[in-house]
Amino acid sequence: MSSLKFIMLLLLLSLLCCDTKLTITDKPVSDTTKVLTTTLKQVISVEFMPSASALRRPSKFGDTILLTADFLPLELLPTKSGVQIFKVLPKQTIYRILTGESYRKDVPNYLCISQFEKSDTGYYIQAQNLSVLPFGGGSSLGLYLKKVGDSLEIVDKSSSSIN
C-alpha cells in the first residue's frame, strides 16, 4: 500500500513539475496599422511618390526616415514597413533636428501622414514628403484603399509635387 502511495506521489509531482511552456502570441494587428504600413510601402517608392529619393538623403539617423502625423496619435504610426525603418517623432522635433542640419545642401525630407479617413467603403490616406528648408518643396501621395478579406487593395492613387 505504501508503494502505491509513493507511486501516486511521484506521478503527482512529475505532473506538477513538468515544464509547461507559455504560448506567447503576437497581438492582433489593427486595420489602422495595416493601412498605414501599406501606405508607407507605397510612399517610399520612387515609382509612386515624386521625389521619394529626398527621404533617403544622408542624415545622422542613417537610412531611417523621419515620420510624423498631423491628425493621428504618433503611437499608431508603424516604426517599420518591409525593410524600411521609420523614426516617429513630433513635427516640432523633426523641424528642430533637420533645421539644425540646414548648413548642408542635401538635408533629407521627412514624411507626414496629413490625412486619414475611414469610410464604409475603405480608407483614404494622404502622405506628404516635405522639406524643412525654405522653398524646399516635396510631394504628396493620396491612396484609396479597400479591405478585401484580411488584405488591403489599392483602389486609386494620386500624386503631385509640392513647390
Question: pLDDT by residue (tens digit) across 62-82?
Answer: 888 999 999 899 999 999 888
Least confident of 51-60, 69-78, 97-106, 128-137: 97-106
- Using CA atoms, how far apart are residues 102 and 115, in angstroms rounded to an integer? 27
Report how far residue 75's alpha carbon sits from residue 160's, in angstroms, rounded to the nearest whole number: 28
Per-residue pLDDT, averaged over 92-117, amounts to: 87
Instruction: Between 135 and 86, name the one with better pLDDT.
Output: 86
- Give the pLDDT confidence score for residue 6 in this predicted structure: 61
Kindly list the structural domains of the chain, giving each domain's residue range(s) and its CATH number in brackets, ordered by start: 29-162 (3.10.450.630)
End-to-end CA gap in the chain: 92
* Mean of pLDDT over the chain: 82
Confidence of residue 124 (pLDDT cuts 50, 70, 90): very high
| Cβ(78)–Cβ(34) below 8 Å | no
- The predicted-structure confidence for 127-136, as pLDDT tens digits, reads as follows 999 998 888 8
Distance CA 57, CA 16 (A): 58
Pick from 129, 128, 144, 138: nearest CA to 163: 138
